[in-house]
A and B are shown apart, each in its own frame.
Chain A
């Protein structure tokens, strides 16, 4: 077995026992990437030089007795919408091709000071808009379990890299499911925290009121470790939660006994692949057998969550992406006047999905439509938040499939935006509500494609969510790896 297939916890043990160095770990994941990248295209940038320096420095420090914690010396992959000083940050867009930020995102500086080794920047749907990583100006990422299929998105690059072993862990951003859905489709754990627990400073904004950074990992324990390294208040983000990060470790192994599990009626039925529904039902049975209390719950506003999302997210995006105008950075397409220059730059620099959402958001904010669309969606959001708070008086966690389907084939939904948007129907409610949610792999379908189960909890309810996720993981016993990960090293 290659070092590239270790979990973060195992790798940390090897580093501290002297069995492996950080440079060894880095070489293992880069070697893995050298086999897989040509086909999968997880990375937009691999920072060979910077990563090597960071790994060497981590080794020196550890040898000298300086231990920066559980991510010390661990090679990680970051989605290419995190600003990294001195390393290109493109958001998979032509409009930012070659852009080098002059500052690090808060998450990036916390990872650096935690001793992590940043291998490189991973592919995404342009500006995180999409559910398949096909909307990348630099070509799609493919699913390690079946390269004819999508890895999900928008954090498809990080999810696939973690699945295949070209990083030991990774980070993505989740606005409508962009961490959990690719985690589900790639057979890894993906976690979206309570809104405000991780700083958004330096994350290139898609929809500010929804965006949240979170980890992708091979197991629940690693996801927790990655989360702990970046969580906590940041004075540079006004929306950052000022209180303490919940304590999540003491009950992690406490099991499902006594946990009241709400099974969401609205997230089942038509459109859900039988294998997905079956995998969930089997897991629920096992949890019940071990003492979890299952409760059918109905959250009627979940039915409207997707519509709300497609009014709120594009509206915020239309303003967030207005700054890409060819004036201060990025692409410029010349024009006679500054107005013409901006309009040409934006039309050529943005891909079709981004343009579609900018137009959609601009429309729903414009005079005469605001109240019926954007305004109404934001009031409905309040209704949804209340509905979730009420249901949590009766249940501790909510469960659902993460995605109604397993990984679909490349191109299957690119011509039908609405069908693509429906991929996120299970993940969007937690984004709108700002509540934590995690996807845990529970098995493979008959084609050998991974299936994920989603566990949602009330705001700041990370402790019970992780406890439940761990219980699911233990019962699923999911140890399968994509065939590509087993390539000779």
Chain B
């Protein structure tokens, strides 16, 4: 089956500001890869659960205990912009 890709929508979901040329190029590359990958659909997998962990682990818990947090200055030293102990970003387009 031919693969339909709304590449602009995918890029929006992935928060990637791509140019029309880039979008075109990625769409055709994705089409080739997905066409190859679509071979997985030929196999009947009814009754098979998806793999959760190769060794089948479950119920891994941590006790409800406090561990010391990071130093705020060390954390903010990596921030592109910080103010008054906060990370700072441009305003949101959307409502609060």
Contact = CB atoms under 8 A, between A and B. Distances in A.
Tell me if chains A and B make direct contact, with any CB pair below 8 A: yes
Contacts, number: 185
B49 A382 contact: yes
B40 A238 contact: no
Contact of B55 (A194, A307, A336): A194
Nearest to B61: A238
A307 B37 contact: yes
A99 to B, nearest CB: 6
B14 A318 contact: yes
B90 interface: yes
Interface string B14-34: 111110001000100110111
A480 interface: no
B10 A362 contact: yes
Chain A binding surface SS class: helix
A343 B89 contact: no
A327 B87 contact: yes
Nearest to B54: A434
Interface string B61-94: 0100000001100110111110000010111111
Nearest to A321: B14
Contacts of B48: 379-380, 382-383
Interface string A422-454: 000000000001110000000000000000000
Contacts of B80: 326-327, 329-332
Contacts of A435: 54
Contacts of A355: 16, 18, 22, 26
Contacts of A195: 53-55
B40 A343 contact: no
Interface in A290-335: 301, 304, 306-308, 310-311, 318, 322, 325-332, 334-335
A359 B90 contact: no
A397 interface: no
A378 B70 CA distance: 36
Contacts of A103: 70
B54 A346 contact: no
Contact of B54 (A99, A362, A385): A385
10 residue pairs, one from A and one from B, having the closest CB atoms: A434-B54, A378-B50, A332-B80, A379-B45, A343-B17, A329-B78, A337-B93, A379-B48, A381-B51, A307-B37
Interface of A: 99-100, 102-103, 194-196, 209, 235, 238-239, 241-242, 301, 304, 306-308, 310-311, 318, 322, 325-332, 334-344, 346-347, 350, 355-356, 358-360, 362-364, 366, 372-373, 375-383, 385, 417-418, 421, 433-435, 459-460
